[in-house]
């Protein structure tokens, strides 16, 4: 018994001439928005200023690829990055750089430890987490 396995499933079908359905929708939507801008904006030179970026964006959505992926994925990733919360783990500050330089300098301050320079946070959830924190910090110091 032979079964036919579908091949080339990642290639979209050409429905509207040389265009896929998605490309046609992007181009038709861009043309429709450009037409509305032409009709409803009061000055024609002002409408041209808005029409050109609209058509360029529609063309980019339809045909431009970034790293062999559709441009819409790049736009989506940019919006997600811009609107989601960002977590900054560590920021270098002048105080910490000066403290590290003083730590490594050969004058009389070389005997100080990093724990004396920086205040370590006190974790109060459990003794195991406190122990894990102190082991991690001591390993990174050495």
Residue 47 CA: distances (Å) to CA of 28, 55, 61: 18, 12, 21
Query: pLDDT at position 122, please?
Result: 55
Give the lowest-confidence range in 28-32, 65-69, 82-86, 110-114: 110-114
| Distance (Å, whole) CA 45 – CA 43 | 6
Query: pLDDT at position 123, please?
Result: 46
Tokens of 44: 């024609």
Whether the pLDDT of residue 138 is over 70: the answer is no
pLDDT digits (tens, 9 = 90+) for 39-75: 999 888 889 999 999 999 999 999 999 998 999 999 9
Whether the pLDDT of residue 11 is over 70: the answer is yes
Tokens of 79: 């919006």
Query: pLDDT at position 54, please?
Result: 96
pLDDT digits (tens, 9 = 90+) for 86-99: 887 776 666 666 66
Instruction: Give the single-character DSSP code of 111.
Output: T
Query: pLDDT at position 21, please?
Result: 93
Query: pLDDT at position 76, please?
Result: 96
């Amino acid at each position: 018994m032979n079964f036919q396995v579908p091949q080339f499933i990642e290639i979209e079908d050409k429905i509207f001439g040389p265009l896929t359905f998605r490309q046609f929708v992007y181009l038709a939507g861009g043309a429709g928005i450009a037409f509305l801008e032409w009709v409803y904006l009061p000055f024609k030179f002002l409408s041209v200023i808005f029409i050109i970026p609209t058509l360029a964006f529609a063309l980019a959505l339809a045909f431009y690829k970034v790293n062999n992926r559709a441009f819409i994925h790049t736009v989506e990733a940019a919006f997600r990055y811009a609107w989601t919360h960002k977590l900054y783990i560590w920021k270098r500050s002048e105080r910490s750089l000066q403290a590290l330089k003083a730590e490594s300098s050969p004058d009389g301050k070389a005997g100080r430890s990093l724990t004396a320079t920086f205040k370590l946070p006190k974790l109060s959830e459990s003794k195991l987490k406190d122990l894990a924190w102190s082991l991690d910090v001591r390993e990174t110091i050495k």
